């Protein structure tokens, strides 16, 4: 497994990356190297301690832990189905971070990882505030035709992952990383960087002006918030959710 650790130099805004190879560690555990680099588990492999359902006090029936996997069983339901649906979010809030996770989908499935998520009565869904690393069965999707920035690995409706990205078949695990560092964003999928951009750049602003997010006043407004796993009305599976923050 290939890890790239991003660190800030003392007294400087510059970053340096150290990359090395190590043997894979069991799911939902940290390697010695990860512990030394201040990684933490967001999922302990057995419970949903440290998580809650977005805008609710209870987890609800859709999210559970099965055989070391976080499962959202939303088959046949719409996104955020009233009273039982909704994204699963961390109790902790994060500003700058590197997130690593594994995911797999059911056929035609749709989900995502959201960040800087903030709850509130004006925000019925986690995506009202949080940008999204898109998780999608591009080939099996049965809804309206997708444009490129709605496909897997993309920053939803903003930056498209390339068509050459490597995605494992539905039902098999994929690995992903998401980095947010003072407005610098990277998406990685199965060991390859598929998206990179700078918030606030001219390019970012142009894309924003042409996106759906102009109609969401809270979107990307907050620079500290929860990490979210999206309920999008389909079975989805997550494990080995790890983070290091600064």
Give 95-122 pLDDT, tens digit per residue: 999 999 999 999 999 999 999 999 999 9
The widest CA-to-CA distance across the chain, in whole angstroms, is: 52
Is 22 domain-assigned? Answer: no
Confidence at residue 23, expressed as pLDDT on a 0 to 100 scale:
67
Per-residue exposure over 157-191, b if at least 16 CB sit within 10 Å of its own CB, e if not: bbbbbeeebebeeeeeebbbbbbbbeeebbbbbee
Task: For residue 198, give every residue at least 6 positions away whose Cβ sits within 8 Å of its Cβ, in sequence order, or none.
Answer: 183, 184, 185, 204
72, containing H or E segment: strand 69-72
Would you say residue 197 lies in a domain?
Answer: yes
| pLDDT tens digits, one per residue of 54-107 | 999 999 999 999 999 999 997 767 777 877 889 999 999 999 999 999 999 999
Structural domain boundaries enclosing 220: 32-245
Which pLDDT band holds residue 12 (cuts at 50, 70, 90)?
very low
pLDDT for res 75: 74
For the chain, the domain total comes to 1
Distance CA 77, CA 240 (A): 26
What span, in angstroms and rounded, lies between the C-alpha atoms of 240 and 175?
Answer: 9
Confidence bin at 22 (pLDDT 50/70/90): low
Instruction: Give residue 152's pLDDT.
Output: 98
CA dist 131 and 152 (Å) reads: 14
Token pair for residue 154? 């993309």
Q: What dihedral do alpha carbons 146, 152, 55, 47 form, nearest 10°?
A: 150
Residue 13 has pLDDT above 80, yes or no: no
Q: 13 lies in a domain?
A: no
The answer as to whether 3 is a domain residue is: no
Q: What single DSSP character describes residue 37?
A: T
62 belongs to a structural domain:
yes
Cβ–Cβ under 8 Å, residues 160 and 154: yes
Read off φ and ψ for residue 203, nearest 5 degrees. Answer: -65, -45
| Residues in Cβ contact with 161 at an 8 Å cutoff, skipping those fewer than 6 apart | 134, 148, 151, 152, 153, 154, 187, 189, 194, 195
**CATH code assigned at 73:** 2.60.120.560
Rounded CA-CA distance 208/189 in Å is 23
Q: The whole model's pTM is what?
A: 0.89
Rounded to whole angstroms, how far apart are CA atoms 174 and 215? 32
Q: Identify the CA nearest to 180 among candidates 104, 245, 87, 113.
A: 245
Flag whether 169 is in a domain: yes
Residues 103/238, Cβ–Cβ less than 8 Å: yes
Q: What is the pLDDT of residues 204-240, one digit of tens each?
A: 999 999 999 999 999 999 999 999 999 988 899 999 9
8 part of a folded domain = no
Question: Is 163 inside any structural domain?
Answer: yes
């Amino acid at each position: 497994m290939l890890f790239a650790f991003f660190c800030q130099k003392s007294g400087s805004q510059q970053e340096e990356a150290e990359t090395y190879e190590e043997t894979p560690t069991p799911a939902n555990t940290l390697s010695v190297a990860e512990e030394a680099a201040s990684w933490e588990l967001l999922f302990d492999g057995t419970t949903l301690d440290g998580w809650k359902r977005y805008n609710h006090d209870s987890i609800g029936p859709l999210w559970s832990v099965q055989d070391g996997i976080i499962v959202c069983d939303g088959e046949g339901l719409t996104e955020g189905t009233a009273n039982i649906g909704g994204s699963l979010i961390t109790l902790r809030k994060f500003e700058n971070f590197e997130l690593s996770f594994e995911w797999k989908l059911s056929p035609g499935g749709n989900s995502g990882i959201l960040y800087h998520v903030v709850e509130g009565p004006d925000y019925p869904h986690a995506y009202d505030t949080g940008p999204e690393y898109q998780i999608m069965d591009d080939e099996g999707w049965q809804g309206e035709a997708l444009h490129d920035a709605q496909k897997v690995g993309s920053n939803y409706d903003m930056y498209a992952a390339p068509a050459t990205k490597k995605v494992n078949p539905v039902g098999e695990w994929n690995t992903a990383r998401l980095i947010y560092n003072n407005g610098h964003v990277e998406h990685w999928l199965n060991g390859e960087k598929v998206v990179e951009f700078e918030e606030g750049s001219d390019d970012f602003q142009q894309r924003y002006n042409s996106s759906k997010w102009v109609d969401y006043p809270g979107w990307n407004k907050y620079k500290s918030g929860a990490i979210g796993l999206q309920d999008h009305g389909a079975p989805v599976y997550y494990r080995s959710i790890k983070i290091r923050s600064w």
